[in-house]
Amino acid sequence: MKKTAYLLDTHALVFWASRTDVSIEFITFFDKQEQRGTLYVSSITFWEIAFLVQKGKLSISDTHAWKDELLSNTSLHLINPSASEMIDSTLLPPHHKDPFDRLLIAQANSRNLILVTKDRIIPAYEVSCLWM
């Protein structure tokens, strides 16, 4: 089955939403995917964003408001990890220690999504990835 939908890694979501640190081709491509309804984000991504804000690595004044505005102004599909996906994330080879990334890999695989990431370790897994 051909994969035609995309799951945004945390940095990909932030870059696309803020229109920074990525090419105009990246923004245009994912704007089109969003309009087609083929763009997904995991609820764990917002958890990771909240941690990054707490640590001062990301500047968002109100993470709840940022999330709510993003989800209400786009056709992003919000997906929650299933218990099976959480278990599957622990069964992956130990290439990557980041539990957020491991869970995104499991979600992408179980839902037949292409993971949008620039993380150089993730392609070591059997998961479809894309970065522009």
pTM, entire model: 0.94
Cα–Cα distances in angstroms (integers) from residue 123 to residues 35, 47, 56, 119, 128, in the given order: 27, 23, 28, 8, 8
- Average pLDDT of the residues in 94-108: 94
Is there a contact between 117 and 129 (Cβ–Cβ < 8 Å)?
yes
SS3 label, residue 108:
helix
Distance CA 115, CA 9 (A): 7
DSSP reduced 3-state for 17: helix
Q: pLDDT per residue over 51-90, tens digit each?
A: 999 999 999 999 999 999 999 999 999 999 999 999 999 9
Domain range list for the chain: 6-130
Q: Which of 19, 57, 16, 62 is nearest to 40 (CA)?
A: 16
What does the DSSP assignment read for 41-67? EEHHHHHHHHHHHHTTSS--S-HHHHH
d(CA 122, CA 102): 8
Query: What is the topology classification, in CATH, of domain 6-130?
Result: Rossmann fold (3.40.50)
What 8-state DSSP symbol labels residue 130?
E
Beta partners for 42?
79
pLDDT in the model for residue 96: 86
Label residue 2 by pLDDT band (50, 70, 90). low
